[in-house]
Amino acid sequence: MKVSEISYQETNKFSNLVLDYLKKDEKLSPFINHFPTLENFEKQVTEKKTHSIDRVVLVDVLNKQNASLSLSEKSKLNIESLKENSTFTVTTGHQLCLFTGPLYFIYKIISTINLAEQLEEKYPNNNFVPVFWMATEDHDFQEINHIHLFGKKIAWGSKQGGGVGRMNLDGLESILTELKSVLGTSENADKLISLFEESYLNHDNLADATRYLVNELFGKYGLVILDGDDKRLKEQFISTIKKDVLRNGFEKSITKCSEDLATKYKAKAHVRPINFFKLSEGKRELIKGEITEKEIENNSVSFSPNVLLRPLYQETILPNIAYIGGGAEVTYWMQLKNAFQQENIPFPILILRNSVLFMDDKQNQKRQALGFTINDLFLEEHQLQKKFVLNQKDSHISLKDEMDAVENIYASITAKTTDLGLQNSIKSQQQKQLKSFKQLEEKLLRIAKQKNESSLNQISKIKQQLFPCNSLQERYHNFIPFYLKGGDNFIEILKENLNPLNPNFVILNTKIK
Residue 448 has pLDDT above 70, yes or no: no
**How many other CB atoms are found less than 10 A from the CB of residue 286?**
11
Say whether pLDDT at 106 is over 90. yes
326 SS3 class: coil
Contact predicate 361/148, CB 8 Å: no
Locate all alpha helices (DSSP H) within 231-352, ordered by sequence.
231-235, 238-247, 251-262, 293-298, 310-317, 327-334, 337-342
Is the pLDDT at 452 greater than 70? The verdict is no
Number of domains in the chain: 1
DSSP 353-377: PP-EEEE-HHHHHHHHHTT--TGGG
Q: Among residues of the chain, what percentage have pLDDT more than 70?
A: 96
- In a domain, residue 244? The reply is no
In a domain, 25, yes or no: yes
What is the residue-averaged pLDDT of the chain?
A: 94
What confidence score (pLDDT) does residue 18 get? 97
What would the pLDDT profile of 274-308 be if each residue is shown by its tens digit? Answer: 999 999 999 999 998 899 999 999 999 999 999 99
What's the Cα-to-Cα distance from 61 to each of 227, 372, 411, 436, rounded to whole Å?
9, 53, 77, 72
Residue range 123-140: mean pLDDT, rounded: 97
Q: What is the mean pLDDT of residues 451-459?
A: 80
Domain coverage including residue 195? 2-237+304-353
- Residue 370 lies inside a defined structural domain of this protein: no
pLDDT digits (tens, 9 = 90+) for 367-383: 999 999 999 999 999 99
Tell whether 80 is covered by a domain: yes
In this prediction, residue 453 carries a pLDDT of 79
Query: Mind listing the pLDDT tens digit for each residue in 53-98?
Result: 999 999 999 999 999 999 999 999 999 999 999 999 999 999 999 9
CB 176 within 8 A of CB 202: no
Instruction: Identify the band that residue 440 occupies on the pLDDT scale cut at 50, 70 and 90.
Output: confident
User: Residue 256 domain-assigned?
Assistant: no
**What pLDDT is stored for residue 402 in this prediction?**
80
Higher-pLDDT residue of 213 and 417 is 213
Whether residue 214 lies inside any domain: the answer is yes
3-state percent helix, strand, coil for the chain, nearest multiple of 5 = 55, 15, 30
Is the predicted pLDDT of residue 19 greater than 90, yes or no?
Answer: yes
Mean pLDDT of all residues in 207-236: 98
pLDDT, residue 399, reads 74
Q: What is the pLDDT of residues 147-161, one digit of tens each?
A: 999 989 999 999 999
Q: How confident is the model at residue 386 (pLDDT cuts 50, 70, 90)?
A: confident
Looking at residue 451, what is its pLDDT?
Answer: 62
Length of the chain: 513
Assess if residue 181 is contained within a domain. yes
pLDDT value at residue 393: 60
Across the range 338-347, mean pLDDT stands at 98
- 260 occurs within a structural domain: no
Query: Across the strands, what pairs with 280?
Result: 283
